[in-house]
Amino acid sequence: MIDFNLPYLTGDEEKHIFEAVRNGKISGNGKHTNLCQEFFENRYGFKKALLTTSCTDALEMSALLSNLKVDDEVIVPSYTFVSSALAFVRERAKIVFADSLPDHPNVDTSRLEALITSRTKVIVVVHYAGVACDMDVVMDLAKRYNLIVVEDAAQAIDSTYKGKPLGSIGHFGTFSFHETKNIQCGEGGLLAINDEKYSHRAEIIWEKGTNRAEFFRGEVNKYGWVDIGSSFLPSEITSAYLYAQLLHINEIQSKRKELWKRYFDLLKVLDEEGVLTLPEVPSYATNNAHMFFIITKGIEERSRLISHLRKNGIHAVFHYLALHNSEYYLEKHDDRELPNSLIFENSLLRLPLFNDLKLDQVDFICESIKEFYRG
């Protein structure tokens, strides 16, 4: 079986974990946490970076920092992982779901303004597959309507929009280091704060609502409970693992892009024949090769293709179910139809992509797909 995903090991993880253990501080916010945060701030220009235990935690921190009141409205794409909405639901906000583009799972930014009301406080954009949304449109709306922008960049490490790193453009950027991501530590995340007025409070929320971080830097002589918060920071063992990955980010990205291009080159003929659709990267965006997906003609065809690939020892998977149709939120949704989200729910198929995947395995997968469509 060619697995859908296998976590990549650089070979340096154990060395850094051992160092963290020998340092005698493994509870979090120690040497390796700071090394990771400095890496992100220096490489991507984030004003402040805080490691978290997951991207969900980073989104929850952004929701807390947004100071939402009951029934404030948050615009969220329907075609996304549940955490993009759940973080704001927990703050008792009303979710207003937005549809995808006709030709890409990213949110249709041309339709966002029509969703804004006097109660709108936040726009959440998701950079699906590491490909940027049209952030000029989003930031212009945020400026005109005084809104907070959260970039759900869970899949978007090392991608850019017009030369700007994703996660550095909105007020907040959130990243995932789940084992399925380009850079991973099993479970982990990051909150990037790009507006300095939020930095001080973010650190307090991160440390259980206390000013503990200031105390350990020697900026105050005692620390206590000063705000809301939770235990969002990861252990030093997790941070040490992540740091080993970050040191190899260039070679990891190079290999993933090579695999992505191999898929695209081999399957392009099927796109040209009109039997399936390949992903496109807009001119304003870059591709970080987080995933390779194809768009089939519908759920029946996709199911048959999944079965065909499995018979050939290939594990391919579909992705999100549209959140506006979910069991939890269906009765809360405002009954607008979001047809493009449903198209991707029923037709998008993700193919195996991980660093240890071999080029000849990609060749075999592509041949199996061609066999299905031409057989």
What does the domain layout of the chain look like in residue ranges? 13-246, 249-374
The DSSP line for 281-335 is --TTB------EEEE-S-HHHHHHHHHHHHHTTB--B--PPPGGGSTTTTTTS--
Residue with tokens 């029923």: 346
Residue 329 dihedral angles phi and psi, to the nearest 5° = -105, -5
**Rounded to whole angstroms, how far apart are CA atoms 365 and 292?**
12
- Picking from 116, 112, 119, the residue whose alpha carbon sits closest to that of residue 71 is 119
pTM (predicted TM-score): 0.97
The residues facing 76 across adjacent strands are 97
Same fold, 13-246 and 249-374: no
The CA distances from residue 124 to 79, 107, 191, 285, 366, in Å, are 12, 10, 14, 18, 35
Which two tokens mark 118?
A: 């006097």
Strands (E), 67-182: 73-77, 94-98, 120-126, 148-152, 160-161, 164-165, 172-176
Is residue 131 within 8 Å of residue 287, measured between CB atoms?
Answer: yes
Could you tell me which residues come within 8 angstroms of residue 354 by beta carbon, excluding any fewer than 6 positions away?
3, 5, 6, 7, 8
Q: What pLDDT score does 369 carry?
A: 98
Q: What pLDDT score does 375 carry?
A: 83
Q: Which CATH class is domain 249-374?
A: alpha beta
- Picking from 351, 253, 362, 236, the residue whose alpha carbon sits closest to that of residue 10 is 253
**3-state SS class at 182:** coil
Report the CATH fold assignment for 13-246: Aspartate Aminotransferase; domain 2 (3.40.640)
- Picking from 128, 69, 123, the residue whose alpha carbon sits closest to that of residue 103 is 128
Which two tokens mark 362?
A: 């990609």
Q: What pLDDT score does 319 carry?
A: 94
Q: Name the helix (H) or strand (E) containing 344.
A: helix 339-347
Q: What pLDDT score does 178 carry?
A: 98
**Rounded to whole angstroms, how far apart are CA atoms 223 and 213?**
9
Q: What pLDDT score does 164 carry?
A: 98
Q: What pLDDT score does 165 carry?
A: 98
Could you tell me which residues come within 8 angstroms of residue 107 by beta carbon, excluding any fewer than 6 positions away?
77, 98, 99, 100, 101, 125, 126, 133
Residue numbers of the chain with a pLDDT score lower than 50: none
